[in-house]
A and B are shown apart, each in its own frame.
Chain A
Amino acid sequence: QVQLQESGPGLVKPSETLSLTCTVSGGSIGSYYWSWIRQPPGKGLEWLGYVYYTGSTNYNPSLKGRVTISIDTSKNQFSLNLISVTATDTAIYYCARSSSPYNFYYMDVWGKGATVIVSS
């Protein structure tokens, strides 16, 4: 079955860029919506945005233009870039797949999560 695995630096300095990659295995990255969600320590979930397999994107306005999500279908990967990070961006970052190939509304396959700490 489809599995997702996040990878990237676990420590990022304030004002720098947080970059994570999600590798999709056991299936093709085509035909679904692929999202990033984060969870600060001890807190709830925040959806950051999605990329469709065509490359189209949609982001949470709360990130005020700091987020970019891209896709590389040849590598079966999609990526998250978050610029100008501060300590409030410290969180577990999850990648996830939409439960339907026709919309992004819900997510039924999740990665295990990657912990990212923002600190100098």
Chain B
Amino acid sequence: EIVLTQSPATLSSSPGERATLSCRASQSVSTYLAWYQQKPGQAPRLLISDASNRATGIPARFSGSGSGTDFTLTISSLEPEDFAVYYCQQRSNWVLTFGGGTKVEIK
């Protein structure tokens, strides 16, 4: 099973700052990687698929990059509504797995 490791576990930032979240896979997943945002009491929301494609309705301040084993989600300028937990997710060998999450909190 491919393991996804997200770092940091918690990112303390202020509105307007740039946030960079990392996701590392235990083996190559090509570009079969997604990012989700989850707010307390809500279901996850798809942000990015295939490593860099923004989902419908997702603001341009969210961008994804990477391939193989190293991936990054960048939020160019944090808005108040962006403080949440972010998960990466991959598909491999007909199984989907998620990373442990990065919590983006207000500094």
Binding partners A and B: yes
Binding site for B on A (CB under 8 A): 35, 44-47, 58, 60-62, 94, 96, 99, 103-108, 110-113
Task: Report the minimum CB–CB distance from B86 to chain A (whole Å).
Answer: 11
Q: A106-B49, A106-B89 are in contact. Are A60 and B43 (CB under 8 A)?
A: no
- Inter-chain contact B91/A104, CB cutoff 8 Å: yes
Task: Report the minimum CB–CB distance from A105 to chain B (whole Å).
Answer: 4
Q: Which residues of B contact A113 (CB under 8 A)?
A: 43
- Inter-chain contact A106/B46, CB cutoff 8 Å: yes
Identify the closest chain A residue to B43 (Cβ): A110
Q: Which of B41-55 contact A (CB under 8 A)?
A: 42-46, 49, 55
- Inter-chain contact A105/B98, CB cutoff 8 Å: no
Q: A105-B49, A110-B43, A112-B43 are in contact. Are A47 and B96 (CB under 8 A)?
A: yes
B28 at the interface (CB under 8 A from A): no
Q: Which residues of A contact B55 (CB under 8 A)?
A: 99, 108
- Inter-chain contact B46/A99, CB cutoff 8 Å: yes
Q: Which residues of B contact A94 (CB under 8 A)?
A: 43-44
- Inter-chain contact A107/B46, CB cutoff 8 Å: yes
Task: Report the minimum CB–CB distance from B82 to chain A (whole Å).
Answer: 19
- Inter-chain contact A44/B100, CB cutoff 8 Å: yes
Q: Which of B73-107 contact A (CB under 8 A)?
A: 87, 89, 91, 94-101
- Inter-chain contact A47/B49, CB cutoff 8 Å: no
- Inter-chain contact B46/A60, CB cutoff 8 Å: no
B62 at the interface (CB under 8 A from A): no
- Inter-chain contact B95/A45, CB cutoff 8 Å: no
- Inter-chain contact B99/A44, CB cutoff 8 Å: yes
- Inter-chain contact A44/B101, CB cutoff 8 Å: yes
Q: A99-B46, A110-B43 are in contact. Are A105 and B101 (CB under 8 A)?
A: no
Task: Report the minimum CB–CB distance from A45 to chain B (whole Å).
Answer: 4
Q: Which residues of B contact A111 (CB under 8 A)?
A: 43
Task: Report the minimum CB–CB distance from A94 to chain B (whole Å).
Answer: 6
